[in-house]
Amino acid sequence: MSHETIYKSLYIQARGVLKKELLEHLRARRTIRRSRHASLKRHGLGQIKDAVSISERPACVEDRAIPGHWEGDLIGGTKNSYIATLVERHSRYVMLVKVANKDTRSVVSALIRQTQRLPRELYKSLTWDRGKELADHSRLTLATDVEVYFCDPQSPWQRGSNENTNRLLRQYFPRGTDLSLYSQAQLSAVARQLNERPRKTLEYQTPAERFQACVAATR
């Protein structure tokens, strides 16, 4: 039995809504299922000047063999509050970054500050969704030498590690939460919890162990 068959047996087909009595068993508490081809974005959103497509991303990024390539996105809360979420593809190491606002100046400035805390060898590229918050991606590249690639329109699944992490983060920051109330120290503590979970895909190493090995290799 495929996963699609299971989904179809759980969701009400007319509206794609999950039955209320099943909701409490879901980790993400998602009541509505949408196709990966569906989008809530308004027409024209994500048209970014000089955006470099993910199709131009080197093969070494795709196969996760070399550390230093990241996926990123924003998660949103109430009162126009946001957190930038970053996941390193090789180690699945997570960093959470407090941002003042969703405007591109605020987001890019926060990412630049975060990037400068890492060895250059461990921050080579960043793959982002088509959100306007990274419209000023050229400033990020100029300041850090980090190459920025953008997913195809309506294809956030192309940065799957980050999407999965964002779903996990909703356990800590449920929808409807004012994210501006969290300090950077608190965000780093949440990231630390995720980074200390052993992962099957890492042969039961933790992301922290895998990432620290990468750090040690740069010294």
Averaged pLDDT for residues 63-73: 94
Residue 35 has pLDDT above 70, yes or no: no
User: Are 12 and 81 in the same domain?
Assistant: no
Per-residue pLDDT tens over the stretch 77-113: 999 999 999 999 999 999 999 999 999 999 999 999 9
List the strands of the sheet with 125-128, edge to edge: 94-99, 82-88, 69-76, 125-128, 147-150
Q: What does the pLDDT read at residue 4? A: 57
For residue 178, the domain's CATH number is 3.30.420.10
CB atoms within 10 A of CB 159: 25
Domain assignment present for residue 39? The answer is no
Within 13 A of 31's CA, how many CA atoms are on the CB side? Answer: 5
Residue 141 contacts residue 147 (beta carbons within 8 Å) = yes
Q: How confident is the model at residue 156 (pLDDT cuts 50, 70, 90)?
A: confident
Q: What does the pLDDT read at residue 167? A: 94
User: Are 85 and 167 in the same domain?
Assistant: yes
Residue 12 has pLDDT above 70, yes or no: no
Range of the domain at 15: 7-34
Residue 16 has pLDDT above 50, yes or no: no
Q: What does the pLDDT read at residue 25? A: 64
| Mean of per-residue pLDDT scores for the chain | 85
Residue 118 has pLDDT above 60, yes or no: yes
User: Are 63 and 23 in the same domain?
Assistant: no
CB atoms within 10 A of CB 111: 29
Q: What does the pLDDT read at residue 41? A: 41
User: Are 172 and 103 in the same domain?
Assistant: yes
Q: How confident is the model at residue 28 (pLDDT cuts 50, 70, 90)?
A: low
Q: What does the pLDDT read at residue 24? A: 60
| Burial of residue 134 (number of CB atoms within 10 Å: 0-12, 13-18, 19+) | buried
User: Are 28 and 98 in the same domain?
Assistant: no
Averaged pLDDT for residues 180-188: 97
Domain assignment present for residue 89? The answer is yes
Residue 137 has pLDDT above 60, yes or no: yes
Residue 33 has pLDDT above 90, yes or no: no
Ranges 32-36, 101-105, 108-112, 114-118: which has the least confidence? 32-36
User: Are 163 and 67 in the same domain?
Assistant: yes
Averaged pLDDT for residues 32-40: 45
The pair phi, psi for residue 75, each rounded to 5°, is -110, 145
CA distance 216 to 212: 6
Domain assignment present for residue 49? The answer is no
Q: How confident is the model at residue 27 (pLDDT cuts 50, 70, 90)?
A: low
Q: Which residue has the higher pLDDT, 10 or 170?
A: 170
